[in-house]
Amino acid sequence: MESLFKRLSWISATTILLILTSIFVVLFLYAKPAIAEYGLKFLVDSRWGVEVSQPTKPQVSPSTKSSATKATPTTTPKDDNIAVNDEDIAVSDEDIAVNDEDIATDENVAVNDEDIAVSDEDIASQVPSSADEAITADDDIDIDETSKHTKVIYGGLVPIVGTILTTILAMFFAVPIAMGIAIFLSEIAPQSIAKPVGIAIELLAAIPSIIYGMWGLFYFGPLVASVFGGSSVSLLVASLVLAIMIIPFMASLTRDSMNTTPNVLKESAYAMGATKFEVIKDVVFPYAKKGIIGSMILALGRALGETMAVAFVIGGVFTFPKSLTDPTVSIPVVLANSFAESNGISLNVLFYLALILFIISFAVISFAKFYFLRDKK
């Protein structure tokens, strides 16, 4: 009985290792076709769902065909020449450029460009003759003869840059305010104020992120747009909403580590005639430094992987933002928006993105853990 339970407990603990490794492995396996297709160039390619012509017909044809047949959904109507399935939609660079402005000003822009292509007859009809690999193999051969060979290119650069930009900007906005709140709570406010405010901050950290996203879409986005111009869904709005979401989290963690500074230490600094600011700067910060940096990195990790607070307000458009007020897209938002409608290679691409996100956040959190651990010794 005793050894049985001991064994069981070991198995449970190992489940955690198992889940994490299988997340890696499963994401990798599902991403494999995309990795094979696009390789590491995916990371620096800014094209998403772009159709390009294949210069060397015979060599590439089989590989595209095989991936295409795998991807072929049975639901695709055979007689329909107009692209319906998302991965056959080929929007050339030109089309994106042309439609860019429309998309940017569109209020209900939380759809990706494939969807736009599907719903927008104009775009679709602009590329009616494009080769549809996803149409069954028989059709494929027919089209092969009549039109030039093409291949849909997916590149992850835009969402990757979008993720990094929103996170960095969010940190840029959140860190000073969170520090301010933490200093206020632990050093300035009297106990009677610090306590209820502290509780309020902690409660706000518990609010589901979708609430922040919804508020951003309906209230905060329009406000930002009216002040800074541009659309109410943009990189700026997304970063600000993200910042507001991580502020309570960061502030309460920072306050906790600032509170670990022994009072004697602070008092002896005051006794030497230091001002409050000097005590905070020279005693509290150095003492709690590792905890504070750790809490920032944890908040960073949270911002990196956040989906719902961002999905409402980033725009979901696969273009680099030329200014802060342009919409763009981040990895979690791509996943949230496109996952349900994807299959075949485009689904593999999404898994590729998920894998990238997982690796980035894994690295960031492990770094933070390492930091905390060194702190303990």
13-72 residues in contact with another protein (CB under 8 A) are: 13-17, 19-20, 22-23, 26-27, 29-30
Contact pick of 308, 320, 324, 371 for another protein (by CB under 8 A): 308
Q: How far is the CB of 174 from another protein (least distance, A)?
A: 9
CB-wise, 228 or 277, nearer to another protein? 277
CB 29, min distance to another protein, A: 8
Residues 336-355 that bind another protein (CB under 8 A): 336, 339-340, 350-351, 354
Binding mask 250-289 for another protein (x = CB under 8 A): -x-----------------------xxxx-x---------
Binders in 106-145 for another protein, by CB under 8 A? 108, 110
Nearest approach in angstroms of CB 229 to another protein is: 21
List, in sequence order, every residue forming a beta bridge with 154; answer none if it has no partner: 48
Identity of the amino acid at 301 = G
Greatest Cα pair distance, the chain, in angstroms, is 89
Minimum distance of another protein from residue 221's CB (angstroms)? 12
Supply the minimum distance, in Å, between the C-beta of residue 55 and another protein.
34
Phi-psi region of 212 (alpha: psi -120 to 50; beta: other; left: phi over 0): alpha
Structure token digits, residue 262: 């022994």
**DSSP state string for 325-349:** TS-B--HHHHHHHHGGG--THHHHH
Strand 150-154 with 48-53, pairing: antiparallel
Measure the CA dihedral 154/155/158/164, to 10°.
Answer: 130
Among 188, 229, 260, 289, binds another protein (CB under 8 A): 188
| CA angle at 212 for the pair 209 and 216, rounded to the nearest 5° | 145
Closest distance of CB 249 from another protein, Å: 11
Residue for token pair 């020279």: 282
CB 207, min distance to another protein, A = 6
Residue among 90 and 333 whose Cβ is closer to another protein = 333
By CB under 8 A, name the one of 90, 304, 314, 329 that touches another protein.
304
Residues 6+ apart with CB under 8 A from 289: none
Nearer to another protein among residue 90 and residue 201 (C-beta): 201
Residues 185 and 251 sit within 8 Å (Cβ to Cβ): yes
Neighbours of 223 (CB within 10 A): 13
Residue 373 binds another protein (CB under 8 A): yes
Q: Binding-site residue total for another protein (CB under 8 A)? A: 88
Q: How far is the CB of 275 from another protein (least distance, A)?
A: 4
Nearer to another protein, 51 or 306 (CB): 306
Amino acid at 88: D
| Interactions with another protein, residue window 146-185 (CB under 8 A) | 176-181, 183-185
Q: Which of residues 195-224 bind another protein (CB under 8 A)?
A: 197, 199-204, 206-212, 214-215, 217-219
For residue 361 the two structure tokens come to 């956040």
Query: 312-341: which residues touch another protein (CB under 8 A)?
Result: 312, 332, 335-336, 339-340
Give the Å distances, CA to CA, from 238 to 175, 221, 304: 16, 8, 12
Beta bridge partners of 50: 153
| 89/352 Cα distance (integer angstroms) | 20
Using the minimum distance from each CB to another protein, give the nearer residue, 33 or 139. 33
How far is residue 70's CA from residue 90's CA, in Å, rounded to a whole number?
18
Tokens of 142: 């027919």
* Selected binder of another protein within 54, 285, 305, 320 (CB under 8 A): 305
